[in-house]
Amino acid sequence: MIKATYKKYILNFKNPSGTSRGILKTKETWFIILEQNDKIGIGETGLFRGLSIDDVPFYEEKLKWVCKNIKVGIAALLKELLEFPSIQFGLEQAFLSLQSADKFELFPSEFTKGQKSIPINGLVWMGEKEFMKNQIIEKLENGFSCIKMKIGAIDFDAEIELLQAIRKEFSAKEIELRVDANGAFNPNNALEKLKILSELEIHSIEQPIKQGQIEEMAMLCAKTPLPIALDEELIGVFSSEEKKKLLATIKPQYIILKPSLVGGFAGSLAWIQLAEQNNCNWWVTSALESNIGLNAIAQFTHTLQNNLPQGLGTGGLFTNNFMSPLQVKSGTLHYNPTINWNFNL
């Protein structure tokens, strides 16, 4: 007999972090805890207020319902939770955790043994020009060869100046530059901005215009001088038919998979399969989960054997994260099995 409970947890940012949707100071998250005999399983349902499709007033009620109905098993629960991708993901983790010899080792591999690492991008948050510049310098000093910069909040010309400053010192072979607009561009002038960015040999741009503008995004992907990656566009697209139609219509160069937002491991794998059928590449990104969720995403990502830098380096943003074996070294994410977890709620 499995007993299920849930708990809420508020993560506090070390520094308020800027996106085009505003400044983040805290991040709400939830945990599902399963108990069976003397075993415990833990899963993080990484709700992202203002972004998750399951950001609804009755979210906690749904978690209560899941805990009451845990006996029906994971397959039946996942079907019922189609419109709650973050809870799907938390359940997948919790059941894998319960079945594992070590509750934090969901996908045993060379990664969890500390023998292999995952290349990741260094994330530069929005803010004043000087603040962004300092973050870029820090990432370069820490050995990152791929930097992702959030753009669209300060003046576009100032953002271009920052990117130009990097390109003056480092070629595209030395430093891969990605930008994430979080939908900040206007469809009327987005192509013009993409042309300016392409002169700086940018690897890709995430979500240049707001999600839901399918025709405009398809036109951009057809005419763009630099690769476009869909991110928010994938949120709330549930059925296989809808997913197929979206990729066939827009024809993006990349898609970005955030398991908390697209239905966990199963949801991510469904998107990956369709992307590969459409000659579309992909990478995986965390979505401000605690180290519990980040650990699950990292272990899963390693099994996919994708050589592109992944978006997995966000564990150090919070003051009250859980101590974990995850370590960022020289632009890669490592799992150090000699470090113990400290998970106390």
Give tens-digit pLDDT for 153-170. Answer: 778 998 999 899 889 888
Q: How far apart are CA 246 and CA 213, in angstroms?
A: 11
- Around Cβ 288, how many Cβ atoms within 10 Å? 22
Task: Look up 25 and say whether it is catalytic.
Answer: no
pLDDT given for residue 18 in this prediction = 64
pLDDT tens digits, 93-119: 999 999 999 999 999 999 999 999 999
Long-range CB contacts (within 8 A, 24+) of 15-18: 15/125, 15/317, 17/125, 17/317, 18/125, 18/126, 18/127, 18/150, 18/153
User: Residue 18: phi, psi to the nearest 5?
Assistant: -95, 135
Residue 333 CA to chain centroid, in angstroms?
14
Q: For residue 128, name the pLDDT band (cuts at 50, 70, 90).
A: confident
**Average pLDDT of 252-262?**
98
More confident residue, 174 or 43: 43
pLDDT tens digits, 258-269: 999 999 999 999
pLDDT for residue 28 is more than 80: yes
Model-level pTM?
Answer: 0.95
According to the per-residue pLDDT averaged within each range, which of 19-23, 34-38, 134-138 is highest? 34-38
List 148, 193, 210, 258, catalytic entry: 258
Tokens of 154: 């300060």
pLDDT for residue 20 is more than 60: no
Question: With pLDDT > 90 as the criterion, what percentage of the chain qualifies?
Answer: 82
Q: What is the mean pLDDT of the chain?
A: 94
Q: Would you say 99 and 289 are in contact if contact means Cβ atoms under 8 Å apart? A: no
Task: Look up 193 and say whether it is catalytic.
Answer: no
Among 1-10, 27-36, 86-95, 162-171, which stretch is predicted with the lowest mean pLDDT?
162-171
pLDDT given for residue 114 in this prediction = 97
pLDDT for residue 17 is more than 90: no
Q: Dump strand ranges (E) for the chain.
A: 3-19, 22-36, 39-45, 118-119, 122-124, 146-150, 176-180, 204-206, 228-230, 254-257, 281-284, 326-329, 332-335
| 153 CB-near residues (< 8 Å, 6+ apart) | 18, 19, 20, 126, 127, 184
List 150, 193, 210, 243, catalytic entry: 150
Q: Which domains does the chain have, with CATH numbers?
A: 3-99 (3.30.390.10), 118-335 (3.20.20.120)
**Average pLDDT of 39-50?**
95
pLDDT for residue 77 is more than 90: yes
pLDDT for residue 21 is more than 70: no
pLDDT tens digits, 282-319: 999 999 999 999 999 999 999 999 999 999 977 788 99
Q: For residue 240, name the pLDDT band (cuts at 50, 70, 90).
A: very high
Q: Would you say 10 and 28 are in contact if contact means Cβ atoms under 8 Å apart? A: yes
β-strand partners of 8: 30
pLDDT given for residue 19 in this prediction = 62
pLDDT for residue 136 is more than 70: yes
pLDDT for residue 345 is more than 90: no
pLDDT for residue 71 is more than 70: yes
Question: With pLDDT > 70 as the criterion, what percentage of the chain qualifies?
Answer: 98
Q: For residue 124, name the pLDDT band (cuts at 50, 70, 90).
A: confident
Tokens of 244: 């197929």
pLDDT for residue 83 is more than 60: yes
